[in-house]
């Protein structure tokens, strides 16, 4: 299903979002990772038969403006609380991938009043401790693809795709904003772990078994920190199941909605 582009003013800044699916259907709000939302639109479009799917560009990413007030991941979390209010979204299935999963947790520990359930896909955010993680900022553009996609043939196909000047500009912009939010400390909030007990809603953690950016051990640690969370592992998959195994991801999201209803 195709998406319609819209925008809304949040704290004096324009937030761009895409929307698809029938009016009155349950809402699925997807928060993208460091690379932006484009690579996830395929699988998200297939979910619009069941959900009203909303896919924003985070402040400073994609087609959204870069607000002066954006300094930390917490600023983005409060902006999304305003976004939920501005669109009067209720009983939302909040889904966050990687950086977006971290952001989803920051939102939910502050207020889950408009949320029904939470899915975290290969989420950043917690302190890794002695779990070795990859370093997105130290990898070249080619290394980022090859280290986030487990299947080398698929990684090669993605790398062979031509990139327009506009896409290159957006990719660079996304990378700069990611650095603003996640440079130091690297992709985690040292204060997040101690507040995860506030996630008093059904929580699903989805992880690729072959994730080289955030290894599965980090997903197991995250699920253990959240009361009642379930962990679903996708075999043979890397960091971005939206691209590498969209069928498995779609099935897990659909099953979770049914089990959490």
CATH number at residue 124: 3.40.50.1820
Q: Are 170 and 36 in contact (CB under 8 A)?
A: yes
Interatomic CA distance for residues 213 and 228, integer angstroms: 25
Residues 78-99, mean pLDDT to the nearest whole number:
98
Phi, psi of 116 (to 5 degrees): -105, -35
Largest Cα separation within the chain, whole Å, is 46
Give tens-digit pLDDT for 29-75.
999 999 999 999 999 999 999 999 999 999 999 999 999 999 999 99
Interatomic CA distance for residues 64 and 242, integer angstroms: 22
Residue 179 has what DSSP assignment? H
Q: pLDDT averaged over the chain?
A: 96
Residue 155 pLDDT: 97
Q: What percent of the chain has pLDDT over 70?
A: 99
Q: At what angle do helices 141-148 and 152-160 cross, to 10 degrees?
A: 140
Reduce the DSSP state of residue 215 to 3 states and report it: coil
Residue 259 pLDDT: 75
Note the residue count of the chain.
261
Residue 258 pLDDT: 81
Q: Is 70 exceeded by the pLDDT of residue 261?
A: no
Give tens-digit pLDDT for 196-252.
999 999 999 999 999 999 999 999 999 999 999 999 999 999 999 999 999 999 999
Tokens of 201: 């809603």
Residue 260 pLDDT: 61
Residue 129 has what DSSP assignment? T
Residue 117 pLDDT: 98
Q: Judge if pTM exceeds 0.95.
A: yes
Q: What is the extent of the structural domain holding 33?
A: 4-260
* Other CB atoms within 10 A of residue 75 CB: 17
Number of domains in the chain: 1
Q: Is 60 exceeded by the pLDDT of residue 136?
A: yes
């Amino acid at each position: 299903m195709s998406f319609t582009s819209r925008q809304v003013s949040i704290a004096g800044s324009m937030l761009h979002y895409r929307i698809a699916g029938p009016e009155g259907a349950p809402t699925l709000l997807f928060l993208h990772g460091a690379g932006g939302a484009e690579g996830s639109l395929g699988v998200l479009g297939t979910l619009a038969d069941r959900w009203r799917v909303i896919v924003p560009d985070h402040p400073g990413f994609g087609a959204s403006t870069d607000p002066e007030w954006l300094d930390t991941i917490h600023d983005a979390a409060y902006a999304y609380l305003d976004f939920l209010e501005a669109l009067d979204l209720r009983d939302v299935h909040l889904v966050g991938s990687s950086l977006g999963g971290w952001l989803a947790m920051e939102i939910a520990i502050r207020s889950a009043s408009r949320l029904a359930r939470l899915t975290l896909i290969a989420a950043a955010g917690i302190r890794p401790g002695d779990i070795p993680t990859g370093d997105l900022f130290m990898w070249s553009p080619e290394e980022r693809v090859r280290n986030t996609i487990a299947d080398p043939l698929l990684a090669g196909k993605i790398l062979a795709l031509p990139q327009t000047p506009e896409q290159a500009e957006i990719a660079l912009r996304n990378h700069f904003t990611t650095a603003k939010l996640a440079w130091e400390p690297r992709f985690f909030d040292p204060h997040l772990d101690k507040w995860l007990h506030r996630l008093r809603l059904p929580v699903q953690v989805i992880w690729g078994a072959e994730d080289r950016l955030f290894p599965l051990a980090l997903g197991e640690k995250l699920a253990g920190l959240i009361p009642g969370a379930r962990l679903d592992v996708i075999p043979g998959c890397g960091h971005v199941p939206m691209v590498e195994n969209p069928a498995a991801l779609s099935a897990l999201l659909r099953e979770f909605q049914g089990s959490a209803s």
